[in-house]
Structure 1
Amino acid sequence: MQIALAPMEGLVDDILRDVLTQVGGIDWCVTEFIRVSERLMPAHYFYKYASELHTDAKTAAGVPLRLQLLGSDPVCLAENAAFACELGAPVLDLNFGCPAKTVNRSRGGAILLKEPELLHRIVEQVRRAVPAHIPVTAKMRLGYESPEGALDCARALADGGAEQIVVHARTKVDGYKPPAHWEWIGRIQEVVKVPVVANGEIWTVDDWRRCREICGARDIMIGRGLVARPDLARQIAAAEAGEEVVEMTWSELLPIVHVFWLHALEKMTPIQAPGRLKQWLALLTKSYPEATELFNTLRRETDCQRIGHLIGFIRSEAA
C-alpha cells in the first residue's frame, strides 16, 4: 500500500511537506500545482514551488516529491514538463482536478474534464516530451457538474499515457462537501489498466477502511485529513500491517508546530509567517482541542517574537 500526501494550493507547501513527512507513514508527496501557459517557465519558478529539487527531489525525511503542472495547452505543458525533468523532477503529475473558480476560468484544473479529447492530447504530448524512465501521472475529479463522464475521462488519461490516476471522488461542483463518492473509484479502476489511487474525505483510520471496502483501492492520497492529523498516514500504515494504532498526542505534536514556525520565519516575511501558522492551527483544531486554545491565543497576534515566545512557553509547559 502507498500513502501519498495530496497537493493543496496555498497550504501544502515545502514547509508543511517537510514537517508532515518527518512524522512518518507518507510514501510520496506532490507539489502545489505549477501553472504554465504560453511560454517556457524559468528555473526559479519551479524551485519556488519545489525547493526539494535542490535535494534530489526529496524532503528532509527522504520522501520523494512529484512535480504537478496545470494548464490547457498540450505543447506548452510538454515543453515545461521536459524542462522540469531536466531540473530533476522524478515524476510529472498533471492537474485535472482543481475546483478553484479562478483556475477554471483560465481553462485549468477540473474544467478540462468537460473535454476528454483534450485530456488525452495533453497527456500524450507530455508523455512524448518526458524521458521514458520518468513516469507521467494524472489527478482528476469525477467530473465538472456530474460524474457521468468520469469513465471517459479516465480512459482518455490512461490511453494518453498516464501511468497512474489519482481520483478525487467528488465533482468540481461538489467542491469539498461530504460525502466522497468512493464507489466511482472502483468503477474507474474497472475500465483502465493503470493503478487508481483513492482520494477524498479520509480523516481517520475508519474512513480509510470504509473507502477501501467500497472502492477496493489499495493506494490512497490524503490532503486535509493529514494536515489536520499529521500522524494519520502512520496510523493507517500500522493498521494495514496489523500493528497497534497509537495516536500522536498534542505534547508530541507541539514541537513539530514549533519547527514549522521556525521554517516559516526563514522562508517568509514577518507579515506572511503568522498567517501561515494560524492557517495550519485552524485545521489542527479538527483533531486537537489544545490546538483550539493555541489558535485563540494567537488569533490576533502579529508580532513574530511574541508568537515565538508564546509557542515556546506553551511547549515548555507541555513538556
Structure 2
Amino acid sequence: MQIALAPMEGLVDEILRDVLTRVGGIDWCVTEFIRVSDRLLPASHFRKLAPELGSASRTRSGTPVRVQLLGSDPQCLAENAAYACELGAPVIDLNFGCPAKTVNKSRGGAVLLKEPELLHAILCEVRRAVPCEIPVTAKMRLGFDSPDGALDCARALADGGAAQIVVHARTKADGYKPPAHWEWVARVQDVVAVPVYANGEIWSVEDWQRCREVSGAEDIMLGRGLVSRPDLARQIAAARAGQALAPMSWEELQPLLRDFWLQARRKIAPRYAPGRLKQWLAMLTRSYPQATELFTALRRENDCARIDALLGCVNTSAFALEERCAEVL
C-alpha cells in the first residue's frame, strides 16, 4: 500500500510538504503544478515551486517529491519534463485534474479530459523525452462534465506510457462537492494495467475503509483530509497493519504549527505569511475545535510579532530585524 500527499496549488507548498511528511505515513508527495505554455522554463522557476530539487528531491523527512507539470503542448511539456529531470526530478507527474476556471481556459488541467487523443500525445512525447529510468505518472478526474469518457482517458494515459494513474473520483463540474464516486476508480483499474490510486473525500480511517471496499484500490492519495488531520496517513497505515493509533492531539500539533509559522516567516514576505498560516488553520478547524478558537483570534491579525506571541513562538527577534531592514530597503 502506498499513501501519497496530493498536490494542492496555493496550499501544499514546500513548507506544508515538509511539516506533513515529518508526521509520517506518507510515501511520496507532489509539487504544486508548474505551468508550461510555450517555452522552456528557467531553472529558477522549477526551483521556486520545487525547492526540494536542491536536496535530492526529498523533504526533510526523506519523503520523495515528484515534479508536476501542467499544460497542453506535447512538445513543450516534453522539453520541460526532460529539463526537470536534469535538475533532479525523480518522477514527472502530469496534471489533468485541476478544475480551476483560469487554468481550464488556458487549456490546462481537467479541460483536457475532453480530448483523450491529446492526452495520449502528451504522454507519448513526455515519455520519449524523459530518461527511461524515470517514471512518468498522471493525475486525472473522471471527466469534465460527466464520467462517460473516463475509461477512454485512462486508456490514453496508460497506453501513452503513464506508470501510475491517480483518479480524483469526481468530474470537473463536481468540483470538490461530495460524494466522490469511488466505484469509477474500480472501473478505471479494470481497463488499464498500471496501478491506480484513489483520491477524493478520504477524511478519516473509516472513509479510507469504505473507499477501499468500493474502489478496490490499495493505493490512495490524500489531499484536504490530510491537511485537515495531519496524522491521517499515519493512522491509515497503522489500520492497514491491523493496529489502532490514537489521533494526534491539539497539544501534539502545536510544535508543527509553530514550525510551519516560523518557516513561513523566513520564506514568505511579512505581508503574506499570516495569510498562509490562516489558510492552514482554516483547514484544521474541521478536526480541532481549538483551531477554531485560534483562527478566530488570528483572523484579523496581520502583525507577525503579535502572531508570534499568540502561537507561543520565542527568539523571533531576528525576524523583526529582517523585517525592519526590508522596510528600509
TM range (shorter): over 0.9
Q: 1:188 and 2:173 equivalent? A: no
Q: Hey, what's the Cα distance between the residues in 2 that align with 1:146 and 1:164?
A: 22
SS at match of 2:29: strand
The one-letter code sitting in structure 2 at the alignment partner of 1:99 is P
Q: How does 1:111-126 map to 2 (within 5 A)?
A: 111-126=111-126
Q: How many residues matched?
A: 314
Distance 1:276 1:104 in 2: 25
Q: 1:137 and 1:276 mapped to 2: Cα distance?
A: 29
Output one character per residue of 1:22-63: Cα deviation in whole Å (capped at 9) or x when no partner.
Answer: 000000000000001100000000001000000000000000
2: distance between equivalents of 1:106 and 1:57? 29
Which residue does 1:55 correspond to in 2? 55
- Aligned-pair distance for 1:313? 7.0
Distance in 2 of aligned mates of 1:115 and 1:222: 27
1:74 aligns with 2:86: no
Q: Which segments of structure 1 move beyond 6 Å, counting only runs of 4 or more?
A: none
Distance 2:189 2:243 in 1: 29
Give the match for residue 148 of structure 2. 148
User: Structure 2: which amino acid aligns with 1:168?
Assistant: H
Q: Which residue of 1 aligns with 2:109?
A: 109
In 2: Cα distance, 1:51 partner to 1:101 partner? 27
Deviations 1:117-169 (A, max 9, x none): 00000000000000000000000000000000000000000000001000000
- Look up the match of 2:276: 276
Counterpart of 2:84, as a letter, is A
Question: For the aligned residues, what is the CA RMSD?
Answer: 0.8
SS of 2:218's equivalent in the other structure is coil
Does the residue aligned with 2:53 lie in a helix, a strand or coil? helix
CA distance in 2, matches of 1:232, 1:313: 26
Alignment correspondent of 2:288: 288
CA distance in structure 1 between the aligned counterparts of 2:143 and 2:302, rounded to whole angstroms: 41
Q: State how far apart, in whole Å, the 1-side matches of 2:3 and 2:164 are.
A: 14
Q: Deviation of residue 244 (structure 1)? A: 1.7
The residue correspondences of 1:169-318 to structure 2 (distance < 5 A) are: 169-312=169-312
Contact preservation (8 Å) 2:199, 2:221: yes
Partner of 2:72: helix, strand, or coil?
Answer: coil
Quote the offset at 1:254 in angstroms.
Answer: 1.0
The answer on whether the counterparts of 2:258 and 2:311 sit within 8 Å (CA) in structure 1 is yes
Residue 76 of structure 1, CA deviation: 0.1
Query: Identical aligned pairs, as a percentage?
Result: 74
Equivalent position SS for 1:275:
helix
More divergent stretch after superposition (305-314 vs 276-285)? 305-314
User: What is the correspondence of 1:32-43 to structure 2 with a 5 Å cutoff?
Assistant: 32-43=32-43
Give the Cα separation in 2 of the matches to 1:36 and 1:96: 13
Q: Which residue of 1 aligns with 2:157?
A: 157
Shift of 1:246: 1.2
Deviation at 1:71, TM superposition (A): 0.1
Structure 2 partner of 1:317: none
CA distance in structure 2 between the partners assigned to 1:236 and 1:215 by the alignment: 16
In the alignment, structure 1 segments of 5+ residues that lack a partner are: 315-319
Q: Is the 2:258–2:313 contact (alpha carbons within 8 Å) kept by the matching residues of 1?
A: no
Q: 1:94-118 CA distances to partner (integer Å, 9 max, x unpaired)?
A: 0000000000000000000000000
